[in-house]
Amino acid sequence: MSLNLEQYVSEFSAQNINGEHLLQLDGSKLKALGITSSQDRAIIKKKLKEMKASLEKARKAQEKMEKQREKLRKKEQEQLQRKSRKADKPSSDATEGSKEQ
Walk me through the domains of the chain, giving residue ranges and CATH numbers.
Answer: 7-85 (1.10.150)
Ramachandran region, residue 18 (left: φ > 0; alpha: ψ -120 to 50; beta: rest): beta
For 40, list phi and psi in degrees, rounded to 5.
Answer: -65, -40
Higher pLDDT: 100 or 90? It is 90
**pLDDT (0 to 100) of residue 51:** 92
pTM, two decimals, is 0.62
Give the whole-angstrom CA distance, residue 101 versus residue 96: 9
State pLDDT tens for residues 69-92.
999 999 999 998 888 888 877 655
**How far, in Å, are 28, 66, 95 from residue 61 at the CA level?**
32, 9, 52
Query: In the chain, helix, strand, coil percent, each to 5?
Result: 80, 0, 20
